[in-house]
Structure 1
Amino acid sequence: MTLEYIDPSANPDGVVINVVVWILLVFAGIFVGLRCYCKLSRRRRLWWDDYLLALSWVIILLAPSLVLSVNTSPADRDKIFLAASCAATSSNIRLGFGLHIYDVPLSNLITIGIVSNVSGFTSVLSLDLSKTSFGITLFRLTDGWLRWLVLAVIIILNITQLTSVLFFWASCDPPAKIWNPQLPGTCWPPKLSVVVGNVAGALSALFDVVLALIPWKILFRFRMYGREKVGVAISMSMGVFAGIACIVKLTTLPLLEKGDFTYYGKPLVLWGFTEASLTIVAASIPFLRSLCPTPARTQELPSLEVPTANRHSETANAAHGGRPHAYSKL
Structure 2
Amino acid sequence: MVSSVEESQAPVLVGISIGFAILTFLVISLRLFARIYVLGKMSVDDFLIIGACLLAWAFIAVTMVCVKYGMGRHIDDVDQSKLMAYAFSVWLSSMFYLACLGFVKTSVLWFYTRLGDRYLTRLSYTMFGVVTAQATANVLVAAFQCQPVSKAWATTLPGHCVDINVFYLCNAALNIFTDVLTYTLPIKVIFNLQIPRKQKIALVFTLSLGLFACVSSIIRITYIPAMLSSPDSTYVISGAMYWSVIETNVGIFAASIPSFKAIASRFLPRIIGEYSSQKKYGPWSDSGEQGRRYGYGSNFSKARDPHAITLGTMVADDDHDYGAQVHTGYQGNSSEERIIIPEGKILAQTHISTNVEVQRDYSDSLSFDHGRRQS
Q: TM-score range by the shorter chain?
A: 0.7 to 0.9
CA contact (8 A) 2:104 2:255 kept: yes
Task: Assess, with a 3 A threshold, how the Cα gap between structure 1 residues 51 and 249 changes in structure 2: closer, same or farther.
Answer: same
Distance 2:134 2:111 in 1: 20
User: Could you tell me how far 1:181 is from its partner in structure 2?
Assistant: 0.8
* Structure 1 or 2: more strand by fraction: 2
Distance 2:140 2:39 in 1: 41
Alignment-mate amino acid for residue 30 of structure 2: L
2:250 to 252, 272, 278: 278
**Alpha-carbon deviations, 1:239-260, whole Å to 9, x = none?**
0110110111111111122243
Distance 1:129 1:320 in 2: 39
Task: Assess, with a 3 A threshold, how the Cα gap between structure 1 residues 297 and 92 changes in structure 2: closer, same or farther.
Answer: closer
Distance 2:39 2:205 in 1: 25
CA contact (8 A) 1:224 1:298 kept: no
Task: Assess, with a 3 A threshold, how the Cα gap between structure 1 residues 111 and 19 changes in structure 2: closer, same or farther.
Answer: same
Stretches of structure 1 that go unaligned for 5 or more consecutive residues are 1-8, 65-85, 308-313
2:274 maps to what in 1? Answer: 298
Distance 1:182 1:97 in 2: 21
2:217 maps to what in 1? Answer: 246
2:104 to 120, 130, 145: 130
* 1:213 counterpart = 2:184: yes
User: Could you tell me how far 1:16 is from its partner in structure 2?
Assistant: 1.7
User: Could you tell me how far 1:288 is from its partner in structure 2?
Assistant: 0.9
Task: Assess, with a 3 A threshold, how the Cα gap between structure 1 residues 214 and 44 changes in structure 2: closer, same or farther.
Answer: farther
Distance 1:203 1:186 in 2: 25
User: Could you tell me how far 1:13 is from its partner in structure 2?
Assistant: 1.7
1:225 to 168, 172, 196: 196
CA contact (8 A) 2:116 2:333 kept: no
User: Could you tell me how far 1:14 is from its partner in structure 2?
Assistant: 0.9
Distance 1:108 1:171 in 2: 22
**Alpha-carbon deviations, 1:35-62, whole Å to 9, x = none?**
1112223233111111111111112324
TM-score in terms of structure 2 length: 0.68
User: Could you tell me how far 1:266 is from its partner in structure 2?
Assistant: 0.5
* 1:266 counterpart = 2:247: no
CA contact (8 A) 1:60 1:119 kept: no
* Structure 1 or 2: more helix by fraction: 1
Distance 1:297 1:26 in 2: 31
Task: Assess, with a 3 A threshold, how the Cα gap between structure 1 residues 181 and 39 changes in structure 2: closer, same or farther.
Answer: same
Q: Give the number of equivalent residue pairs.
A: 286
2:80 to 101, 106, 112: 106
User: Could you tell me how far 1:149 is from its partner in structure 2?
Assistant: 1.6
Higher relative contact order (CA 8 A, sep 6+): 1
CA contact (8 A) 2:8 2:235 kept: no
Instruction: Kindly name which structure, 1 or 2, has the bigger radius of gyration based on alpha carbons.
Output: 2
SS across alignment from 2:34:
helix
Stretches of structure 2 that go unaligned for 5 or more consecutive residues are 282-295, 304-310, 318-324, 326-330, 335-375
Alignment-mate amino acid for residue 242 of structure 2: L
* 1:115 counterpart = 2:84: no
**Alpha-carbon deviations, 1:212-232, whole Å to 9, x = none?**
333332234544223432333
SS across alignment from 2:81:
helix
Distance 1:270 1:165 in 2: 20
Alignment-mate amino acid for residue 156 of structure 1: V
1:139 maps to what in 2? Answer: 113
2:54 maps to what in 1? Answer: 58
CA contact (8 A) 2:52 2:101 kept: yes
TM-score in terms of structure 1 length: 0.77
SS across alignment from 2:87:
helix
Q: Alignment identity in percent?
A: 22
SS across alignment from 1:140:
coil
2:64 to 90, 105, 109: 90
Distance 2:174 2:119 in 1: 20
CA contact (8 A) 2:117 2:189 kept: no
